[in-house]
Structure 1
């Protein structure tokens, strides 16, 4: 049975999309604190990456629900490795001697502004995402057994709420404490948690459609009854 589970038509595509979303949302969007003006609430600060980062949890829910915890665990480690490589590459590129000229001097300044803190963002992201993602997957896998595969909406929303709580509790404090004002760090972290969880609620119809499509096409609906839930392995 395990051998048959190793050959899936769509797993590699989902894993690739997962890693791309993780990289882009952390290196393009995470460093920008944006603001939206809401009626009755006033200005609400949020991290730019919040618009896209929840998609990684969307993929995580799908991987765990369809293929099982072990396949999501492998995807998390792939994302972890990609973030580490991107952080190292950013620091090497910044450290390279700059060619003469005003354009390259301005370009170097832009790189340092955007990616100069990438090592801290990457470490914070890797740690918080690693903790949050495995928590999300574990809760979803256990809830699937407890509910006997029913109430997918409750499982995806509930697991995301727990996973995002862990993630949001770590990321902004580790990445931006001492750089942003403390009150802004806390405000953005709270907004991130609320918006990410809300994103999962809004994405529920799409989650149902994708999960049902994959279960039908892959002929897979895995239950993690005898799964080893240690996060320290990539074997499926």
Structure 2
């Protein structure tokens, strides 16, 4: 063995891969299953409001993004963002191909093809909007949180998670709804849903704060890690850690 060859040791984390898998799963499901459906909620005083069904689940991806950056640092969260990007891109390509393959000539497909087109034929536009909005929003969220952690010397986790989510979700919501549904939904509904969902997603982060504290503390102890991005290069175009 040549002793002059340096040996590089990559730290192994017990839960990092599991969190990455959960993040990608939530991202795909919330964008491909819930994004296109409009539902409604009834609030005291305000009344009934129209929202996108994805609002119930998509904020969980930002919840995991905050945890990844807080515990493992920006660079490892960056790898997760790119994993989600590739998964969402593949899902959109697969949806396009499956919808446009010639349907078999039978009674079942005579009905099912129309249903498949109704659900997934706009998937390409939703996916493009999702990829761009998610990419911009997620990286903004991660960068803001990482820089705030250094600036506050790790204090006030609640302020950092809520503040970074408010920035990331604003960018995400404006880009996604504008690109995915402009010209499809009525402009009034589009603006109302985009602004309402931004508020609900930020509220979701506020309500999840106790869970964030609990999970972050558990992971820091289990992984023996509490990363500070003091010397990090914040370019999104890298997979280095």
| Range of TM-score over shorter length | over 0.9
Matched with 1:95 is 100
Instruction: Work out which of the residue numbers 196, 214, 220 in structure 2 matches 1:215.
Output: 220
Partners of 1:131 and 1:6 in 2: how far apart?
A: 28
Asked if 1:230 corresponds to 2:235, the answer is yes
| Residues 1:60 and 2:65 aligned together | yes
2-structure distance, mates of 1:43, 1:89: 36
Give the equivalent residue in structure 2 for 1:47.
Answer: 52
**Equivalent of residue 200 in structure 1, options 202, 205, 212:** 205
| Structure with the greater alpha carbon radius of gyration | 2
1:166 aligns with 2:171: yes
Which residue of 113, 117, 138 corresponds with 2:118? Answer: 113
Q: Which residue is 1:157 aligned to?
A: 162
2:9 pairs with 1:12? no
CA distance in 2, matches of 1:38, 1:206: 24
Would you say 1:147 and 2:152 are equivalent positions? yes
Q: Could you say what the CA RMSD is over the residues aligned between the two structures, in angstroms? A: 0.9
Q: Give the TM-score taking structure 1 as reference length.
A: 0.97
For 1:4 and 1:50, the matched residues in 2 are separated by 41
What's the secondary structure of 1:98's corresponding residue?
coil
Q: Secondary structure at the match of 1:44?
A: strand
Residues of 1 paired with 2:158 and 2:183: CA distance? Answer: 38
The secondary structure found in structure 1 opposite 2:33 is: helix
Match of 1:129 in 2: 134
Distance 2:10 2:192 in 1: 43
How far apart, CA to CA, are the structure 2 residues paired with 1:131 and 1:71?
A: 17
Q: Report the TM-score, using the length of structure 2 for normalisation.
A: 0.95
Quick one: distance in 2 between partners of 1:70 and 1:57?
Answer: 16
User: Equivalent residue for 2:180?
Assistant: 175
Structure 1 residue runs of 4 or more that deviate by more than 6 Å after TM superposition? none
Partner of 1:187: 192
Rounded to whole Å, the distance in 1 between the matches of 2:79 and 2:199 is: 27
1:17-57, CA deviations, whole angstroms, 9 ceiling, x for partnerless residues? 00000000000000001111222112211110110000000
Aligned partner of 1:78 in structure 2 is 83
User: Which residue of the other structure, out of 26, 30, 34, is the alignment partner of 1:29?
Assistant: 34
User: Are residues 148 and 4 of structure 1, via their aligned partners in 2, closer, same or farther at CA, if it must alter by over 3 Å?
Assistant: farther
Q: CA deviation at 1:6?
A: 3.6
